[in-house]
Structure 1
């Protein structure tokens, strides 16, 4: 019998509890004489930053290799075009359901209406998304999808940083993947290299994932130490509305979709839980990709199809970040500033949520998707700054739903196309069919 403390899930849970306790202690210690973070809060922030940086460092090669390999895998599938079409269709269907729930909750709760004029902490949004920015952002400026930014300090010193534009990298990866299909057998040496790269990157990511209990403790501790419960109290209705919407999608909509397709929800959640849990603490759909793909295969989804659908879903399928959250956030911002929304505005929210989710690109946070929605509706972009204080806490739940939705679509499409191994789905335990 395995000891509980050796379970990865137990370790992550213990890390979350430890992080909550350490965050409360750091909060009680207070700030230094110059208003700086105390030693405990600084330590938590440093460890959390290192963990997130490790995840971000592995994302570019993982996205490129996974997307190229997934598209190339279509060569081995029968009815590849139909499978790809069904996958994208179910991406849209689930996104439409999720954004509808977000709108319904927002209209009922009206989370921003009672806060008009309240003194809430506001931070400037570092990245802003508009439709023109989104369209221009699709076009890579170079073959590596690198972008640079320069910040000038108060003393005049300039610091330039380079980073990967994941949206552009996604476009490059899709183009390269389609090109491998076009050239056929001549691409085999290149694909062998890409698959080897993917295996190596996944091995490295596995090492990083083992650090999740420590990373989750640091990240949760930092959120509590930095923001405390005050921000949550002021934005309590909005936070509760977000988690209500996420719970309805995860625990009501997804089970009903499984039942409608002739599957019991129990085995799905039992086997998908490791990926959902990791998505919650890591706040990264891409970082969770190997685990997501592994549990999808354990659910009986054809390995070749899973190798196509899950990498694509991990970068473009975001029911939490791109559907529920921007719908509720737009209603919150409109209510806070006293701006009425009309039927056309709600239609625009739906359109943005269904076709604009690639803007989130599977990374932590959904600020680009939020500002894309606000700019489409003509709402004040400063409203995004109101929500940044509690964004890490909300992002945990959003990413968990993202990951669950990615697995769900793979299972549903496989079931509808006859490539789901139901024996593997149900297993031999309590879920086995009689």
Structure 2
């Protein structure tokens, strides 16, 4: 297919290397010339907007094409159940890893309490997440409005029903499915062109971040940053090793295959920015299109491993900062609370902040403690986003293997290609 062109780099510096160089140069430029680096924000914003305009048509066309092409609605139900089971297992492991790391390293002990933005913290505390209303909001009243707002869950619900109806129409529905196939291929080609600009976009975004916040602001909270990064790496290592042993799939090859979308997700702190490229890389790895287009967008709502882990770590961190006893029984209760409150909130602006604020209030901890971590939240968000992306790519491979749609012979080809890349 035409969209595989991105996977065959020409001679010279590969895209991954270019992105990494852009990231490093952005840090240097932001540190050396902070005044000018801050002015680069519009360049980075333009790159993010270019990626976001790809996402909706790509997800809609791919999902309709995948569902209509499958034509097996029992299979679609199985995909949903298996995806949710894996999402729940992964997020539970993420919560336990977060609690383990924050209790062992105790990053909040010894931190001077300086509420850098108590106003934002108070505003977050006033917001609540109504789970019943969230379920109601799964169903769009206006599909065009859902597309305009980029509400991925509503888009998935509509596209799923539309794909089922198109499949049920048989020959009459085939022209529409063919159009969706063409649109998906065009959007992958679109992605190929946009990704040529990725090193410039990454450079601008990182330079702005360092120029605005500086490297000095990292020092007081270096232990928190280090703890989160270590916890996320530990979580991914556990998931990758466990899935490799159980499913007989070398997930380390998968990590190699998705290194470019991981770097995009990390440097932009935007899951949407990495989604088109991640879908392409997973298909090249051998995961069927209908699984990729179902699991990945759904995972961005129900399988936010990095954000879930961070929520658990941040709540205990704030308790440590204020010297408030927060024993293991309370932490386990908090874990159960977060299992529910972190599901289905990806579309809510500042979702992690709202969840943390609500959890702090529920356990009698000072909500203004959020102000302490706001200053470094961008640095933390970069790691969370990369983990969210990686976790969802792993989920797609797990579900494909579970459905017996990723045979060993396909994997052997994928392994060879991952080294070529």
TM-score bucket of the superposed structures, by smaller chain:
0.7 to 0.9
Aligned partners of 2:342 and 2:355 also within 8 Å:
yes
The alignment status of 1:171 with 2:167, answered yes or no, reads no
Residues of 1 paired with 2:245 and 2:21: CA distance?
A: 34
The aligned residue for residue 325 of structure 1 is: 310
SS in structure 2 of the partner of residue 286 of structure 1: helix
Residues 358-397 of structure 1 mapped to structure 2, 5 A cutoff:
358-361=344-347, 366-397=352-383
Matched, 1:23 2:30: yes
Deviates more, 1:295-304 or 1:363-372: 363-372
What is the aligned partner in structure 1 of residue 243 from structure 2? 257
Contact 1:4-1:10 within 8 A present in 2 as well? no
- Return the alpha-carbon distance in structure 2 between the equivalents of residues 426 and 363 of structure 1: 41
Given that residues 228 and 380 in structure 2 are in contact (C-alpha distance below 8 angstroms), is that contact kept between their aligned partners in structure 1? yes
CA distance in 2, matches of 1:173, 1:431: 30
CA contact (8 A) 1:112 1:335 kept: yes
Of the three residues 205, 219, 224, the one matched with 1:238 is: 224
Is the 2:38–2:212 contact (alpha carbons within 8 Å) kept by the matching residues of 1?
A: no
Which residue of 11, 18, 35 maps to 1:11? 18
Q: Contact conserved, 1:100 with 1:350, CA < 8 A, in 2?
A: no
Cα deviation, residue 95, structure 1: 0.8
More helix by share: 2
Distance in 2 of aligned mates of 1:368 and 1:18: 34
TM-aligned CA deviation for residue 164 of structure 1 = 5.5
Structure 2 unaligned spans of 5+: 1-8
Give me the whole-angstrom Cα distance separating, in 1, the residues matched to 2:133 and 2:403.
36
**Secondary structure of 1:419 counterpart:** coil
Residues 132 and 83 of structure 1: is their aligned pair in 2 closer, same or farther, counting only changes over 3 Å?
Answer: closer
User: Match of 2:142?
Assistant: 143
Q: Does 1:222 align with 2:202?
A: no
**Contact kept? 1:131, 1:376, Cα under 8 Å:** no
CA deviations on 1:324-377 (whole Å, 9 max, x unpaired) are 111111111222234333424533334424662321249898434444544554
Does residue 302 of structure 1 match 2:288?
Answer: yes
Query: In structure 1, what is the Cα distance between the partners aligned to 2:102 and 2:148?
Result: 34
2:50 to 30, 49, 54: 54
C-alpha root-mean-square deviation of aligned residues, in Å? 3.5
The verdict on how the C-alpha distance between 1:365 and 1:62 changes in structure 2, with shifts beyond 3 A counting, is farther
Listed as ranges, the gaps of 5+ residues in structure 1 are 28-37, 148-162
Using CA pairs below 8 Å that are at least 6 residues apart, which structure has the higher relative contact order? 2
The equivalent residue for 1:340 is 325
Offset at residue 401 of structure 1 (A): 1.4
**Alignment correspondent of 1:99:** 95
How far off is 1:89 after superposition? 0.4
Q: How far 1:244 moved relative to its partner?
A: 0.5
